[in-house]
Chain A
C-alpha cells in the first residue's frame, strides 16, 4: 500500500486545523480573551509539571466571563 491514504488523511487534518483557526479568528474579542485564559491555564500547568516556575493566568472575575452573560451582551 502506498502513502496516499496517509497523505490524504494528513491533508484532511491540516484542512480541519485551518478551518478551526479561521473560526477562532472570527470569535468576539471577549470570547478570544476567554480562550486566551484557557490557554494560559493549560500552559501554566504544563510548565509547572516540568518543574519550572509558571506564570499566573489572568485572575479575572468570573462575572466578566462573557459565557456567563445574558445573550446579546458583549
Chain B
C-alpha cells in the first residue's frame, strides 16, 4: 500500500487535488482491529469546481490513467489497491480532511481521518455497516468526549449520535 500512498501524495503535490485523507474501513483499521474491506476510500478536497459548479473528478482519473492506473468499476486500481476517490461532500467531511492526522505507512507520509471525525461521519452516514463499525470501534477505543461533542454539535449530529449510541451505552 506504500506505493499507492506515494501515488496519492504525488497527485496532491501536483495540485490534482488540494488535500486527501484516508477514510472508510481502512481508517477504521488504523484505529481498531482489522476488518474485511476491499477498497481504500480516499476523501479529497478538490482543486476547483468545474465551470458548471458540478463536481468533476475527471482530472484525477485522467492523471491516474497517465500514470498507468486505470478504473475498475467504481475504483481505480493504484499499485494493486482499488482506490475510491470521494470528493468531500459536506462540511463534516471537509473538516475531517482538513484536520486529518498525519501518519506514516512504511516510509510514506499520509493522512487518516481523525478518530472522532471518523465516528461522526459514520453516525452521519448511518448505513447498517456504519452502525456496526461504530459499535465495534467504541468497544475498542473510547473517543475524546470533548472533541467528539464539539464535532457533533458543529454539524448538527448530537441527536443522531444519541439515537445511535445513547441506547447502546444506556445514557
Which residues in A have some Cβ–Cβ distance to B below 8 Å?
21-22, 24-25, 27, 29-30, 32-33, 35-36, 39-40, 43, 55-61, 64, 66, 69, 73-74
**Digit string of B1-41 for contact with A (CB within 8 Å is 1, else 0)?**
11100000000000000000000001001111111111000
Q: Is the CB of A29 within 8 A of B30?
A: yes
| Shortest CB distance A4–B (Å) | 27
Give bound CA distance, A60 to B79, whole Å: 7
Q: Is the CB of A21 within 8 A of B103?
A: no
Q: Is the CB of B81 within 8 A of A60?
A: yes
Contact partner, A66, options B33, B103, B106, Cβ 8 Å: B106
Can you give 29 A-B contacts (C-beta < 8 A)? A21-B140, A22-B33, A22-B140, A25-B32, A25-B140, A29-B30, A30-B105, A32-B33, A32-B34, A33-B1, A33-B29, A33-B105, A35-B34, A36-B26, A36-B34, A40-B36, A43-B36, A56-B38, A57-B38, A58-B80, A59-B81, A60-B3, A60-B79, A60-B81, A61-B3, A64-B1, A64-B3, A66-B106, A74-B106
Q: Is the CB of B2 within 8 A of A64?
A: yes
Please, which residues of chain A bring their CB within 8 A of the CB of B38? 40, 55-58
Please, which residues of chain B bring their CB within 8 A of the CB of A58? 1, 38, 80-82
Return the 9 tightest CB-CB contacts between A and B, nearest first. Answer: A59-B80, A24-B33, A74-B106, A35-B34, A25-B33, A39-B36, A32-B34, A36-B34, A55-B38
**A-contacting residues, B107-130, CB 8 Å:** 107
Please, which residues of chain B bring their CB within 8 A of the CB of A66? 106
**Digit string of B130-149 for contact with A (CB within 8 Å is 1, else 0)?**
00000000001100000000
Please, which residues of chain A bring their CB within 8 A of the CB of B36? 36, 39-40, 43
Q: Is the CB of A32 within 8 A of B30?
A: yes
Contact partner, B80, options A32, A61, A74, Cβ 8 Å: A61
Q: Is the CB of B107 within 8 A of A74?
A: yes
| Given A22-B33, A36-B36: 7 more A-B contacts, CB < 8 Å | A24-B33, A25-B32, A58-B1, A58-B81, A64-B1, A64-B2, A74-B105
Give bound CA distance, A21 to B106, whole Å: 23
Give bound CA distance, A60 to B105, whole Å: 14
